[in-house]
Amino acid sequence: MRLATRADGSRDGTLVVVSDDAARCLPADMTLQAALDDWGRAEPVLRALAERLAAGQGDLLDQETLLAPLPRAWQWLDGSAFPTHGELMQQAFNLPPIETDKPLMYQGMSHRFLSATQDVPFPSEADGIDFEGEFAVVTGDVPMGCRADDALAHVRLILLLNDWSLRTIAPIEMKTGFGWVQAKPACSVASFAVTPDALGDAWRNGRVCLPLTVEINGEWFGSPIGDAMAYGFEELIAHAARTRDLPAGTIIGSGTVSNANHAEVGSTCLSERRAIDVIAGRSMTPFLRFGDRVTMRAADAFGVIDQRIVKA
């Protein structure tokens, strides 16, 4: 099942169920957050609408009217579950390894998520504008102390997102020990949130086993596959819920999708490519400039993130 949120003048929009070919939709008369809050009641209603769409019913869908599936969320927790990404950064910039046997995770900005097609404003090119291609899950209510073995039962939806980052600011904030604020502006999210069953065999072992393809200004940048996570989403959920309940509508990210064979499949962020440049002894790839366009896709499941960088 494929869900989206259509703009209606409110902050949270209106939930619609979308046909498999993304050509038609039917309104659900609720927001996505309301559906997540009462998933046991909402899911049968939404699946009934999906069956009507499969039978050929529905209105034409204008994807330009779509917001992020969750325009704002109760919580956004981003992991860093691809070890190659961290290893490259440590090797290139002489960073000490992070001594832990637990998943890495931080809490980011959740009161606004950008749509897949809107221009993305930034204050200054000097801040080191970068993208990070990620997969993410949206949970239902997760009880404190949830075990990894039980965690995937709480996954309601899967997302494709771009975790924008400002690399010049990030190391300054990291040195304070208090985490990121200015370095992590609003993320962008592909238009369609999908239920795990909609991905078929591409959703297995708590991982999205699809290539995440990134282009900059129409030029291919990378297509690493999401199955290389050292920790699956079940482990990320259990980590986040160890000492707190997670409310329905919590979004948990995979971190930058990264593969060991990056020479063949490329990368999903500029910072990683710059690390590879340093290791190879060549000039570093520049960060983004105003007017640049970043595109992300993963098969056809989530739709396409296609955005232009502009001056705020």
Q: How far apart are CA 306 and CA 117, in angstroms?
A: 5
pLDDT at 30: 98
> Where are the strands (E) in the chain, listed by range?
2-6, 14-18, 24-27, 59-60, 75-79, 105-108, 120-122, 129-130, 133-139, 155-162, 165-166, 188-189, 193-194, 203-204, 207-208, 213-216, 219-222, 250-253, 293-297, 305-311
Instruction: Please report, for the chain, the start and end positions of each structural domain, with discontinuous segments joined by +.
Output: 1-67, 71-311
Q: Which of the residues in the chain have pLDDT under 70?
A: none
pLDDT at 93: 78
- State the chain's mean pLDDT as an integer: 96
pLDDT at 273: 95
Q: Which residues pair with 251 in a beta bridge?
A: 76, 138
Strands across the sheet with 305-311, in order?
A: 120-122, 305-311, 293-297, 213-216, 219-222
pLDDT at 309: 98
pLDDT at 105: 95
pLDDT at 47: 98
Burial class (CB in 10 A: 0-12, 13-18, 19+), 106: middle
pLDDT at 65: 97
CATH code assigned to 71-311: 3.90.850.10
pLDDT at 94: 75
pLDDT at 152: 98
pLDDT at 112: 97
pLDDT tens for 263-277 read: 999 999 999 999 999
